[in-house]
Amino acid sequence: MPVTNGRMPDASPDLYDLIYGAFKNYFAEASALAGLLRERHPAGRTVLDVGCGTGEHARLLAAEHGFLVDGLDINPGFTQRAAARHPYGRFYHADMRDFRLPQRYDAVVCLFGSIGYVLTVETLQQTLHNFRAHLADQGVVFVEPWFEPTAMQDGYEVTHSAESTDLRVVRRSRTELAGRVSRLHFVYRVETADGVRTFNEIHELGLFTVAEMLEGFRAAGLAAEYDATGLTGRGLYVARSAE
């Protein structure tokens, strides 16, 4: 099947929320990001969450911290869930490489390694240039990277499981390295009262070095700095217009 923007069609929003809700601390991440936003742009209020998923970061940044948050994602099922979760925001079905929105934002954020879906250094620069084009005056960009090339192991496997009142899901993941691309093979097993079903997904994410990321920001007209720890231990790039 064809891959769009480095990915196969995702599992349903219900499964996405169930799996990541089991181990990802959205509340702590949103709180840390809100603190950085206030530190770097005290007057900033508007935020665009690129690769917003099902909108939990957006909801928390708005409900708990008072920001005005919109989002976009390439998966229409995710943007529909995000709009239902955070009805005061505007959510767009769009590709981060070439979206065009009618407004600019005090902050553009791209979290949870979603930037890896652009796959190549060339499209990384194109994407970051697009982020810059949507910044208001004094705006700031926050990008949580995917992994560096030396940080991933070919054949690495991990399993996540979660359950709700009416289903249990187990997702097995295996990493395949193909040059500077990490290919994640997901196998889902979903158990409900109606029986068991299984299905597969493949996600492809580019592996960029810190130097390549910083050069991508520079080429896009952004002056960036890198925090190796960031919100979750994965690192964080913080950038402003170089002009």
Query: pLDDT (tens digit, 9 = 90+) per residue, 137-159?
Result: 999 999 999 999 999 999 999 99
Flag whether pLDDT at 113 surpasses 80: yes
167 alpha-carbon distance from chain centroid: 26
Flag whether pLDDT at 2 surpasses 50: no
Task: Look at domain 150-206 and name its CATH class.
Answer: mainly beta
Residues β-bridged to residue 7: 4, 203
Give me the pLDDT at residue 237, please: 98
Indicate the domain borders of the chain: 13-148+208-241, 150-206
For residue 86, which of 143, 48, 115 has the smallest C-alpha distance? 48
Is 141 in contact with 107 (CB distance < 8 Å)? yes
| % of the chain at pLDDT higher than 70 | 96
In the numeric block, the tokens 């700031």 are attached to 140
Give me the pLDDT at residue 10, please: 58
Query: Do you know the residue count of the chain?
Result: 243
Under DSSP, the state recorded for 116 is: G
Question: Using one digit for the tens of pLDDT, what is the confidence trace for 27-61?
Answer: 999 999 999 999 999 999 999 999 999 999 999 99
Separation of alpha carbons 47 and 55, rounded Å? 13
Separation of alpha carbons 11 and 9, rounded Å? 7
* Structural domain 13-148+208-241, CATH architecture: 3-Layer(aba) Sandwich (3.40)
User: What are the distances in angstroms from CA 194 to CA 14, 166, 168, 198, 200?
Assistant: 17, 10, 12, 13, 20
| b/e per residue 69-89 (b: at least 16 CB within 10 A) | bbbbbbbebbbbbbbebbeeb
